[in-house]
Amino acid sequence: MKTGGLSIRVMRMRDLPMLVRIMEMAFTSKRLTAGEQLANLKRVYATAARSACFIAHAEGEPVGFVLTQKNDANWHAPTPSAHVRLLAVAKDFQGRGVGTRLLRMSLLALKKAGYSEASVNARLDNAKAIALYERVGFERDALKFITNL
Query: Please, are residues 90 and 25 in contact by the beta-carbon 8 Å criterion?
Result: yes
In whole angstroms, the minimum distance from the beta carbon of 78 to ligand COA comes to 27
Residue 109: count of CB within 10 angstroms of its CB: 20
- Tell me which amino acid residue 55 is: I
Contact call for residue 128 and ligand COA (CB under 6 A): yes
Among the listed residues 19, 41, 67, 89, the single contact to ligand COA using CB under 6 A: 89
Selected range binding ligand COA among 10-18, 70-78, 81-89, 109-117, rule: CB under 6 A: 81-89
Site string for ligand COA, 6-45 (x = CB under 6 A): --------------------xx------------------
Q: How far separated are the first and last CA of the chain, in Å rounded? A: 45
In whole angstroms, the minimum distance from the beta carbon of 13 to ligand COA comes to 21
| DSSP tag of 51 | G
In whole angstroms, the minimum distance from the beta carbon of 51 to ligand COA comes to 20
Strand partners, 27: none
Q: Which of 97, 87, 103, 89 is nearest to 137 (CA)?
A: 103
Contacts of 114 (CB under 8 A, 6+ apart): 80
Binding site for ligand COA (CB under 6 A): 26-27, 86-89, 94-100, 126, 128-129, 131-132
